[in-house]
Amino acid sequence: MGRIIDPIISQKAAVPPGALTIGCLENRALPLASLEPSLARRIRRTVEARGWQGEPERKLTLSSEDGQTVVTLYGLGAADKLEHVRLDRWLEAAAEDCEAAQHSALTVVPPPHPLLATQSGAAALLRRLALVSYSFGDFREASKPVLRRLQVLPTARAVPVFRRARRVARAAARGAALARDLGNTPPNKATPAWMAAQARAMARRLGAKAKVYGPKELARLEMGALLAVGQGSRNTPRLVRVDVGTEGPVIALVGKGITFDTGGISIKPSPGMDEMKYDKAGACTALGIAQAIGELGVRVRLRVYLPLAENMPDGAAYRPGDIVRTRSGKTVEVLNTDAEGRLVLADAISLALRDRPEALVEFSTLTGATVVALGYHGAALYSPDDRLARDLLRAAEESGERLWRMPLWSEFGEEMKGRHADLRNIAGRWGGANTAAAFLAEFLEDCPSWAHLDIAGPAWRGADQGGGFGATGYGVAATVSWLLRRIGAS
């Protein structure tokens, strides 16, 4: 699993040699009460001399009197405009500066603010901090990690809150790290069979159960859509079920796992195609959630379903014009083989509904249309259940993972009706994220409480987006927060 560091939480402690970063609100008192008085006085004198006021993303750097500690004051801007995204930028900048200066220790002083006065807010900061040292180094020569110690010095009032939040933050960070590892693994290694093996290994670590269905079993289960998508690849499809927990409500998670997506016969343009290894991000997120919930040991029966396939343009590949029969019995006319995710999800959803879950949440990098609508900054939420939607939106806001509810108007479903089959797998040019959600809704008629999260935007960071590169593990933290609140364990 990708490296994370569990932060130490202290009320007052010596700052070890290395880096000290202080988050400062604009025109507010500096949060220096947890620091040694001589260091606090030195910082105040420097701030007064330079007229620094905590303007957004403006930094002020000085050294301790003995020169052993580099102190950076980071402007977080106005208190009434503070959001998790600004805190994230601060921690990322601090980690980058620390690494560039070859410091092995980083001490963080968060500002007193209502956003960090709750357990969920403290957990969000601790989780992000634990992940600042994450790197995916499986395919590079081993290098000794620089950052080895993280310390957080909250205000005296906030210390108990941060300590209570630590356990959940650690589990969510480990879940996100697993999701990142799986997402970043290249497609020549991360085949459907390899992903299934990783799910089994995770289940063994957690004392959970995993069942892997191969091509023959998929045929017996009548999963014609999943088999069709994977039939052009020598890396044959799989479907994985992971059971975490034996008591409590049944909650189903479904994650799209296209281990590489060429688009099939409807092939994608070559620029950026290397990023299509991230088309398995939904499955990676679902496994990351299972990792976190299993580690926390809370009272819930989590049922995770991962449809895994590689979408390739071989001579045996499925074609535009084909009609496939899904496990539900509904037929789908294939108009574009690059709209494959909704097909594999249809079969997985139908199998997941055998458990009669209280709620089903599905994750997928389903459409580029979602990225057009929301950019890379958040995911789209579709649900017919107002309560479930409200609870997921709240959990996303608390955890700092942005989520925006989108419509499920009946017209979108009408656009997905087939000409020669029950359904077709694409509609017209406009509202592609909405019609894709409407397609999935056709297979969820027997499940009153479900949500589809199109995570195509925030699931990974491209080279042109800044602030890191690769899989993000998006969705793990928000869903863990939602599950804990739903079962009363938060």
Q: Of the candidates 312, 347, 318, which has an alpha carbon nearest to the alpha carbon of residue 228?
A: 318
Place of tokens 């909704």: 342
Burial string for 81-101 (b: 16+ CB within 10 Å, else e) reads ebebebbbbbbbbbbebbbee
95, 72 contact by CB (below 8 A): no
427, 416 contact by CB (below 8 A): yes
343, 332 contact by CB (below 8 A): yes
268 is known as an active-site residue: yes
472, 459 contact by CB (below 8 A): yes
Packed helices 476-486 and 281-296: angle between N→C axes, nearest 10 degrees: 40
Q: From the candidates 28, 42, 86, 268, which is the catalytic residue?
A: 268
Tell me the pairing of strands 18-24 and 69-75.
Answer: parallel
Q: Of the candidates 134, 130, 202, which has an alpha carbon nearest to the alpha carbon of residue 173?
A: 130
CA distance 423 to 427: 10
Q: Hey, is 119 helix, strand or coil?
A: helix
* Tokens (6 digits) for 246: 């034996």
429 is known as an active-site residue: no
One-character DSSP codes across 254-265: EE-EEEEE--TT
Q: From the candidates 342, 424, 461, 486, which is the catalytic residue?
A: 342
* Tokens (6 digits) for 377: 């900054």
Strand order across the beta sheet in which 323-325 lies: 323-325, 331-333, 423-424
Cβ-based neighbour number of residue 216 at 10 Å:
9
Known catalytic residues?
A: 268, 342
